[in-house]
Structure 1
Amino acid sequence: MSDNTDYNNNSEYSTVTLSLDDGSEVECAVIRTFPAGDKNYIALLPIADIDEDESEVYLYRYSISADNEPVLENIDSDEEYEIVSDAFDEELDAMEYEELYEQEDSEN
C-alpha cells in the first residue's frame, strides 16, 4: 500500500482513501491514532468490512506533513509491527473500558 491520497471528515467518522499497489483504492474508517514508542500510528478499517465481526485492521505509521496533510507510511519490520500491534490492543482495551464507564454513568 502506498501513502494515503485523501483524508475526509465524514459526519459519522473520519475516512482515509488508500491507493493500493495495483492501482485500486480502498476507503477506510479511522479507528484511532495512537502513540507507540516515539512515533504515532493510525488504525484503519476498510469501510466495506465495517459491519463484519472479523475484519482486518490496517496499521500504519502516521504523521502530519509541513502543509498540514496526514502522511501514512508502511511499517517495515516485524519488530515494529509487534510493538504497534500490542499498543493498538491496549488502545482497544482502553476504548472498551471508556464505553463501559460511560454506560454505567448514563444509567445512574
Structure 2
Amino acid sequence: MSEETYTTNLDSCNPSDCASCTANCSSAGGKNQGTIPNVPNPTIKLTLDDDSVLECAVLTTFPVEDFGEYIALVPLNENGKNKDGETYLFRYAEEGDNPVVSNIEREDEYMAAAEAFHDFIANLKSEEELSKEDEK
C-alpha cells in the first residue's frame, strides 16, 4: 500500500465502538460487549502500490497504549469473502467525520498493535459462551 492515507465513509456506527463500546447498543453486540457483532461489517477500499483496489471488511478499531488508535481490516475476495483469515493492521484516526487509515511504519509500533489485536481476539466470547450467558 502506498504511504498516503485513505478515507472512506462508513455507513454504520463508529468502528471503534465495537472494541471499546460502553453504550450497550445492539449493533455493538448489546449485552454481549467484547464480541464482534453479528451484523455485516462496513467495508473500506484500499488503493495498493500497483493502483489496484482491495476491498476490506472493518473488523474493529482498538487503542494501543502509548501509540494511538488502530484498525483491523480483513481483505475480501471478489465474492466478498475471506477464507484464509488474513488480517491487516493500520493506524486509524478521524478527520471531522471521516475515518483515516494509514500505514504503520515502525516495527515497534506494529508489534504493539499486533499484540493489542491478539489480546482483543483472545478475549472475545464464543457463541457457546454467549448462549450460556443468555440462559442465565
Cα distance in 1 for residues equivalent to 2:82 and 2:48: 22
Within the candidate set 94, 104, 109, 1:64 is matched to 94
Cα distance in 2 for residues equivalent to 1:98 and 1:50: 21
Stretches of structure 2 that go unaligned for 5 or more consecutive residues are 13-38
Across the aligned residues of Structure 1 and Structure 2, the Cα RMSD in angstroms comes to 2.1
Q: How many residues align?
A: 105
Which one has a larger percent helix, Structure 1 or Structure 2?
1
1:29 aligns with 57
Q: Deviations over 1:59-105 (max 9, x none)?
A: 0000001x31101111011111111000000010122x264431212
- The secondary structure found in structure 2 opposite 1:31 is strand
Cα distance in 2 for residues equivalent to 1:99 and 1:41: 26
Aligned pairs for 1:71-86 within 5 A: 71-86=100-115
Identify if the C-alpha distance between structure 1 residues 47 and 100 changes in structure 2 by more than 3 Å, giving closer, same or farther: same
2:9 aligns with 7
Using the size of structure 1 for normalisation, the TM-score is 0.82
Identify if the C-alpha distance between structure 1 residues 68 and 81 changes in structure 2 by more than 3 Å, giving closer, same or farther: same
Deviation at 1:107? 4.5
2:116 aligns with 87
Contact 2:44 2:56 in 1 (8 A): yes
